Structure 1
Amino acid sequence: MAIAKGLTAEQVQQRIDAGQQNEPAPSLTRSIKQIFRDNLLTWFNLINLVLGALVLITGSYKNELFLGVAIVNTAIGIFQEIRSKRQIDKMSLLSESTYEIRRADSVVEVHQDAIVQDDLLILQRGDQLPVDGLIIETKGIEVDESQITGEATPIAKTAGDTVVSGSFLVSGQAVVQATHVGVKSFINTLSGEVQSGESSNSQLLNTINRIIKILTIVIVPLGAVLFVSRILNHSTINQAILGTTAAMIGMIPEGLVLLTSVSLAVSAMNLARHRVLVRELPAIEGLARVDVLGLDKTGTITSGKLQLSKIVPLPGQSLDRLKALIAGTSNAIGDDNETARALSSVLPDPGWQPTKVVPFSSARKWSGVSVSQGNYVIGAPEFVLKQVPVSLANQIEGYAVDGYRVLCIAQTSVMDANNLGDVTILGLILIEDEIRDNAIETFRYFQNQDVVLKVISGDNPTTVANIASRAGIKNCSQSIDMSSLGDNIDYDQLVANYTVFGRVTPTQKKQLVKAWQRAGRTVAMTGDGVNDILALRQADCGIAMASGSEAAKSIADFVLVDSNFDAMLNVLNEGRRVVNNIERVASLFLVKTMYSVALSLIFIFMNNGYPFQPIQLTPISVMTVGIPTFILALEPNYQRISGQFMKQVMVIAAPGAICVVTYILLIDLVGGVQFNLNYAETSTLSVLLTGAVCLVALLMVARPLNRLKISLVLLMGGCFTLIFVFFGNLFSLESIFSWQMALFYLPLLVSVYPFFYIVQEVVGKRILARINWR
């Protein structure tokens, strides 16, 4: 085939028929099959099934109702995750980059799964290679293969060299012929590892998983010991099975993991509606904990649109000659970035033919070309010259103070990436940035939420500080030129003293992020270019613009589909809502878990039967935990995160569990002895008092109260009461309309709130305050 023309439609179809077609980008969500498998095949579901089989042996079929709760929980989890998956997959398609392909004398844009073997890809700076290939045409490029080799140093490539999928262009342009696609490409041999760094770390999920691990170790052996003790205390097999089943069901915080996963999935779906693509669900929580936000100037503070403001000839140069030199140099280099577009939009191309091109690099901060007219470079004066003369430096500083981005056009004796020889500055190029709409309001909100804003840019620090000041960023006068610091830099001191960092190289960006992390900060980093990749990967939370490079998007936690930074307010609020609400409602789950474990240990040594049957736990689980937690978990709650998950949970869970255990022991020991109550009656009162304690815990959790929350507590309390009135037989409950029972339980019911309050004061404020919970 004629390489220069590209494949014809017939040749493309032949390769598709032969299976020589590339694969789509890896999905950000689990498949339907994986969702069903991971929700169904869990340790707690297995325990529930085994317990259900044991209850079946007793013939007490209504005690199987606890399986219904487990089934409903699992079904809700599957439904919500599939619903979230569809929304995220739809958003993923919108954020995917397309590739320019040369086919049959024309250029078409296609997604990566439409690329076939031998296709000619036209790649620009920032593009990530979706296939292995052979460079057919280039003026000179540099490729970053760090996601494959681990080495961040760009590698120079020329025509005839090979490139592998997963790497990306850090400078230049090229036409690359696809040599290996689909499963044969290098990126697929790494099983997707190229696309991602470390998984987002979730404090919330880690804490919950620690609780689950402990319970996994405790539940089965404790249940077995309890069963044996019941048999030794002359209980029947059926009574022992039902009591042990009730104890083990109570220990399982069914719904806590589900609620956390569903809350994150719902948040991801909500963010997708706000045009934010979440690549990893725990990142939603991560951003909610962020207290340092590193801003890349372009695309976050400014809109990214640049315009040529002025060309300033230096002595001995004419404006017309400079315009011709700048136009010829810029077009001959062939860079496709905002600066190049700003120049080419107003300066006509004289049609110079380059003999050598050094494309723009974020580390060099200049690009250059050799033509018959000489060697010329365009770039930052501080990087083009080894030492800027004082008079010129003062002139540049003056323009920078006025907010201009200052570049220079210079003639050199040598054109080499590492050596320009003798350099003569011919003139200055003044570029203007446009402040993004709503930037001031967005940054004010973050600062009011105690998120410290830092600006990290490759531009002149004075220019950046001027723009940051216009955007309302605090302390922007504290700026530093990173190019003036040499090799031995004290990054820890820098991050403590400065807000604006200019002339920053990609490696320095990463080191700044690491310094904030060493200081105990949680760092989010924004970016859209290849120069931001190292910092995005190092940060606790990476945020990329959809309009940016594919390489930046591939390792970011969030992709802003419309490249609108204002959407980050929604992410911050969604994260805080999830964390705060899960912290709030988790205590309701753990009240049941804690009192079940405590009662199991106590009743191992008692002659009386375990105070509950499985069916009796259903009203408690549904009315005081299940329904209200799902409602409260979706409530708006945008307060700052406390960072003390277990302490917040235990302040309510521990007093609640203590109250339940106390009342049950009173009912069992006093009610059974002094009031001659039988097992059916004591178990009924145990359910009544346990529900009352859990409703008080619900009231505590719902604070601050409003009409909706008060209505929720009253509705759950009313439904719980109606179960005793109308559905007592279904749940193995005795009638509570007995004066003998009422004489005993009414004073206890009246005492629940004050007793809970007293226990919380003692346990919550004196004991828990001394423990370093995490």
Structure 2
Amino acid sequence: MDIQKLKQEAAWHSLSWESIYSLLDTSGKGLTNEESSARLSQFGPNKLPESSKTTLSRIILHQVMNPLIFILVLAALVSILIGEGEDAIFILLVILINTGLGTYQEYNAEKSAQALQQLMKIQAKVHRSGQIKTVSSEDLVPGDLVYLESGMKVPADIRLWEASVLEIDESFLTGESLASKKKTGNLELEITVPDRINMAFAGATVLSGRGKGVVVETGISTQVGKIAQNVAKGTSAKPPLILRMEKFIKQITFFIVGLSFIIAFILNWQGMDWASIFFFVVALAVSAIPEGLPVALTVALSIATRRMAKRNVIVRRLNAVEALGSCTIIASDKTGTLTVNQQTAKKILLDNGNRYSVLGEGYNGEGAIEAENYEKDDPQALEALVRVGIMANEGGLRKEGSDWIHHGDAMDVALLGLGFKHGRDPEEMKQSYHTGGIIPYESERKFSGAFYTLEDEIRFGAKGALETILGFCHCDQEFIDQKVKEAENYASKGYRVLAFAEGVSLTFEKKDTYSEEDIPKLHFLGMVCFIDPLRSEAKESIKKCKQAGIKVLMITGDHPATALNISKELGIAVDGRQVVTGQMLLDAGSTESEAYHKLVINSSVFARVSPIQKLEIVDVLIKAGEFVAVTGDGVNDAPALKRANIGVAMGSGTDVAKEVGSMIVTDDNFSSIVAGVEEGRFAYDNVRKVIFLLISTGGALVLLVLLAILFGLPLPFLAVQLLWLNLVTNGIQDVALAFEGGEPGAMKKRPRKPSETIFNSVMINQTLVASITIGVIVFGFWYWLIEIQKMSEYHARDLALLLMVFMQNFHAFNSRSETTSIFKIPLKRNWILVIGVIAAQGIHILSMHIPFMQKALKIGPITLQEWFYVILLAIPILIVMELFKLYTNRKSESEK
């Protein structure tokens, strides 16, 4: 067999059987054992390459591959070189704590299931050497003759030559909410995967019927395999926090390096030798780096993951927490996310003009049937329609404890649920009416029917497409036109419509199979309208997204008309001009073309798109500067989930989607995704608060040192005291600040611009004000102690250090909000911060009285009076920042 020729031929759905047999060198009898063994050596096993497992060492490496960690390691090495061993120990302790916290969080969240392989590890029934045998799906080869039956997993990509009432669930691959009804025969060349109804694809589930076909693709060449290749080759877009932190690290690095050169020039001008200048500048650079930031950042994100878990969002990677809050677009799957993914009877239209609404949703019997109007009091008409829906039914629905168990076609299950809501037990009805025979549903027939005994009569009930059912009834053309128009009206609203009819059979006789010739003339009963209902919270959640400045896109494998109507009801689209189909994308040409980009950017609904097209849509949006969150549950969603800035997998979806996604929504609910967005915004706000606290106090320390140099004073703090402030005093408070509850109104702000850095104008201004205020006050105090009071450097440093601790204590409360007064923020929103501030102050006071700490920090006890005076000196930082918030708020209001 020519493998190269075989690989080039991918349009199996369009080929004649003669061409297929020729290409595969097989026949309608399958292969021999010898041929299959030879081909297994040639093509390899029918499985996908196994991905490497996520190991503990890899997780640890992921944690330390952080630019700020690199700077801290360098700082530790320099500290050792200049003889500051205590500094190095402090820094290395920070690295150890940060790595430990991050590793613990990621290791607990990581679920490294070998998902794609599990889809392929199944048994297959094949015809080899004249015998039907069961083999491992891994042993299948192109040319094998395979049998399919209800409940089986499809073991490879198969071209069907027999399909008897064969329905296959391919939603994991195509995104279609309804089962694919299979048939044989050649199809057109240029059709998408969902429309290839003469094919069965690896990993799909046979829901009903039976079939037979020839294996045409195995392993990596299957549709699942092609997706696996895209996932493997695809690259994930960096989360927004990583992008912003990288910019932040560059900013702070350039700032410190630039400042170091300036200070070095000044010191040299003052007469200090270059060796002393080098060691001093390095020490100052170490003190300016916010050593506590990695730990605080990790804690803030870890807290957010726990809060998200309470709102049904499981985070697998810490960086994903903030990414969801930064998204500007949510590209959502329809089925199961915006809808409940369970067809439900919602409207009953009887022949006599009576109309009913059906309450409840999903595959269960909970709900009721309520009359909308009574044009004719005829309760038997409703009973007859429900009866036909139960009798001409191959599905199953029963209650076990508090759970409802179902199987079979979605429409059949929905009709059984309708029976329960009408007060009828389907199983009891089937048994009491003694089914005499059935005509099963086939796509060519477009109906199903059943014979049953009722009141000593043999009756036949049928349900199916309206035109087909009307053909069995006594109806004039005016009546037919009226019903067709009514059905089209509901279909245009996204409903699927089934018609029902019943009649008495006078010539019934028991036999194995029945055909249309056995059907008596029927009486038209009416129609039932079905829909996959919207989740009750979805509409409000999308409205909330709009208020938050987030655009919601719907990407689905469903029909464009269905997608349009659901999107209009949800408020995603206004009219059909915002709906794009997979075919329209193909017609637009290359994904790099302007026409393709305009089509994607200006649309809100994408229907009948392939997995690769979904990936391309996401890629275009990211290149356009959007931060994109993608939701999905199937194998078809995996490439897009990986490519997105943030991939959100559904809890009930395939393991493939969960493996690729950065987070998992356990209840499959769009409202939970929106809740995750809110928590993500809270997390980013808290990260900003922590950075503001650390950088403003760090900036104050740098300013303090600069002023001391300029005025020719001794250095206010020793290196170990600087690290004590950064790692212990502030370290407790910044971690406590990470527990801050979310500020009201977070979901009424527009998303941050992708180009926005952490240090935007607001952060820069407030950091400068806070740094200058703290730095000037502490320097003034230091100048007064040294120059005016002529106090010893030892005791002066003791008092100055206490003042800095108090400044940090008060400033931690300033950092709780960028705009809201600290007196308007309830303490109960973060009791941990209150405890943290008290602890930071308490630890410092305790250190003043412990000999070991006195020696290490070069500090000693102070009087109660001195302690009181220092508190008064720290209060101005509260007043200044309150005035700054008042000014910026008024300025913001005037600019609106």
Taking the aligned partners of 2:661 and 2:309, their CA distance within structure 1 comes to: 15
**Aligned-partner Cα distance in 1 for 2:635–2:806:** 59
Q: Does 1:713 pair with 2:837?
A: yes
CA displacement at 1:300 relative to structure 2:
3.0
What is the CA distance between 1:616 and its match in structure 2? 0.4
1:89 corresponds to: 110
Q: Distance in 2 between matches of 1:700 and 1:679?
A: 31
- 1:757 alignment counterpart: 879
- 1:620 offset after TM fit, Å? 1.5
SS at 1:612 equivalent = coil
1:589 & 1:664 partners in 2: Cα distance? 17
Asked if residue 193 in structure 1 is aligned to residue 233 in structure 2, the reply is yes
Distance 1:639 1:19 in 2: 57
736 and 756 in structure 1: CA distance in 2 versus 1, 3 angstrom threshold: farther
Q: Which residue of 1 aligns with 2:716?
A: 611
Alignment of 1:320-359 (within 5 A): 338=410, 350=439
Aligned to 1:285: 322
Give the match for residue 23 of structure 2. none
C-alpha contact 1:442 1:569 (8 A) present in aligned 2: no
Other-structure match for 2:248? 211
Please report how far the alpha carbon of residue 699 of structure 1 lies from its aligned counterpart in structure 2 after TM superposition: 1.8
Structure-2 separation of matches of 1:591 and 1:139: 74
Secondary structure of 1:303's match?
coil
| Counterparts of 1:249 and 1:586, CA distance in 2 | 17
Counterpart of 1:364? none
RMSD (Å) for aligned C-alpha atoms: 6.7
**Structure 2 counterparts to residues 365-376 of structure 1, below 5 A:** none
Alignment of 1:291-306 (within 5 A): 297-306=334-343
1:199-241 Cα shifts (integer Å, max 9, x gaps): 1541x44333222112223435644664676577567999767
Q: CA deviation at 1:670?
A: 3.6
Cα distance, 1:50–1:754 mapped onto 2, change above 3 Å: closer
Q: Which runs of no fewer than 5 residues in structure 1 stay unpaired?
A: 147-151, 166-171, 329-335, 358-375, 380-388, 410-425
Q: What letter matches 1:733 in structure 2?
A: K
Contact 1:116–1:178 (CA under 8 A) maintained in structure 2? no
Counterpart in the other structure of 2:487: 396
What residue number does 2:88 align with? 67
TM-score under structure 2 length normalisation: 0.57
Cα separation, 1, equivalents of 2:348 and 2:597:
39
1:662 Cα offset (Å): 0.5
2:833 corresponds to 1:729:
no
> In the alignment, what sits opposite 1:432?
530
Q: Secondary structure at the match of 2:668?
A: coil
Matches within 5 A, 1:479-498: 480-481=575-576
SS at match of 1:432: strand
The aligned residue for residue 767 of structure 2 is 653
Deviations 1:431-454 (A, max 9, x none): 523647xx4356546646735796
After TM superposition, give the deviation of residue 563 of structure 1 in Å. 3.4
Q: Which residue of 2 aligns with 1:101?
A: 122
Distance 1:278 1:647 in 2: 31
Tell me the distance in 2 between the aligned counterparts of 1:313 and 1:338: 22
2:329, 2:626 within 8 Å by CA — same for their partners in 1?
A: yes
Change (3 A) 1:351 1:109: farther
- TM-score (structure 1 length as normaliser): 0.65
Instruction: State whether residues 490 and 529 of structure 2, in contact with CA within 8 Å, keep that contact through their aligned partners in structure 1.
Output: no
Q: Deviations over 1:512-551 (max 9, x none)?
A: 9999999999775655568978987897655443545678
In 2: Cα distance, 1:65 partner to 1:108 partner? 69
Is 1:37–2:161 an aligned residue pair?
A: no
SS in 1 for 2:122: strand
Rate the CA distance shift 1:217–1:496 in 2: closer, same or farther, 3 A: closer
Superposed CA deviations along residues 595-648 of structure 1, whole A, max 9, x for unmatched, are 344345556655334332221023312344212222331344264435575455
2:530 partner letter: E
Aligned pairs for 1:474-513 (under 5 A) are: 480-481=575-576, 504-506=607-609
Counterpart position of 2:519: none
Query: Residues 344 and 440 from structure 1, CA distance in 2 versus in 1: closer, same or farther, beyond 3 angstroms?
Result: closer
Residue aligning to 1:79:
100
Q: Counterpart in 1 of 2:682?
A: 577
Q: How does 1:374-413 map to 2 (within 5 A)?
A: 394-400=485-491, 404-406=495-497
- Residues 138, 155 of structure 1: alpha-carbon distance in 2 compared, 3 angstrom cutoff: farther
Q: Is the 8 A contact 2:106 2:317 kept in 1?
A: no
- 1:720: Cα distance to partner? 2.5
What letter is aligned with 1:718?
Answer: G
- CA distance 1:505–1:104, change in 2 (3 Å): closer
1:3-27 CA distance string (max 9 Å, x none): 979999xx9xx99xx9997444566
Post-superposition offset of 1:587: 1.0
* Structure 1 pair 503–428 and aligned structure 2 pair: CA distance change class (3 A): farther
Counterpart residue type for residue 192 of structure 2: P
1:569–1:539 CA distance, 2 compared to 1 (3 A): same
Letter in 2 for 1:440: S
Q: CA separation in 1, counterparts of 2:774 and 2:135?
A: 66
Secondary structure of the structure 1 residue equivalent to 2:343: strand
Q: Which of 717, 721, 739 is equivalent to 1:634? A: 739
SS at match of 2:337: helix
Work out the CA distance in 1 between the residues paired with 2:763 and 2:343. Answer: 51
1:622 aligns with 2:737: no
Residue identity opposite 1:78 in structure 2: T
How many angstroms apart in 1 are the aligned matches of 2:564 and 2:482? 21
Rounded to whole Å, the distance in 1 between the matches of 2:103 and 2:147 is 37
Match of 1:414 in 2: none
Distance 1:139 1:390 in 2: 36
Is the 2:807–2:877 Cα contact (8 Å) retained in structure 1? no
Q: Deviations over 1:181-213 (max 9, x none)?
A: 69xx8788778224x5x41541x4433322211
- Could you tell which deviates more after superposition, 689-698 or 587-596? 587-596
Aligned amino acid, residue 613 of structure 1: L
Query: Is 1:254 the equivalent of 2:291?
Result: yes
Deviation at 1:590, TM superposition (A): 0.8
Structure 1 residue 750: Cα displacement: 1.1
Alignment check: 8 A CA contact 1:306 1:434 kept: yes
Which moves more between the two structures, 637-646 or 658-667? Answer: 637-646
Question: Based on CA coordinates, which of the two structures has the bigger radius of gyration?
Answer: 2
Q: Does 1:598 align with 2:703?
A: yes
Tell me, what secondary structure is at the counterpart of 1:761? helix
Q: CA deviation digits over 1:349-394, x for unaligned, max 9?
A: 857999999xxxxxxxxxxxxxxxxxx9999xxxxxxxxx996774
What is the CA deviation profile of residues 473-505 of structure 1, one whole-angstrom value per residue up to 9, with x for unaligned ones?
6x69x853469999899999999999xx88944
CA contact (8 A) 1:725 1:735 kept: yes
Task: Report the Cα offset of residue 36 of structure 1.
Answer: 3.0
For residue 440 of structure 1, give the secondary structure of its aligned residue in structure 2: coil
Paired residue total: 678
Q: Which amino acid aligns with 1:591?
A: S
Comparing 292-301 with 77-86, greater Cα deviation is found at 292-301
Q: One-letter code of the match for 2:797?
A: S
Residues 397 and 462 of structure 1 are in contact (CA less than 8 Å); yes or no, is this contact kept in structure 2?
no
| Structure 2 match to 1:666 | 780
State the one-letter code of the partner of 1:706.
L
Look up the match of 1:366: none
1:295-354: CA deviation from partner (whole Å, max 9, x where unpaired): 65531343212257899999xxxx9xx99xx999xxxxxxx9846987999999857999
Distance 1:109 1:726, change over 3 A: farther
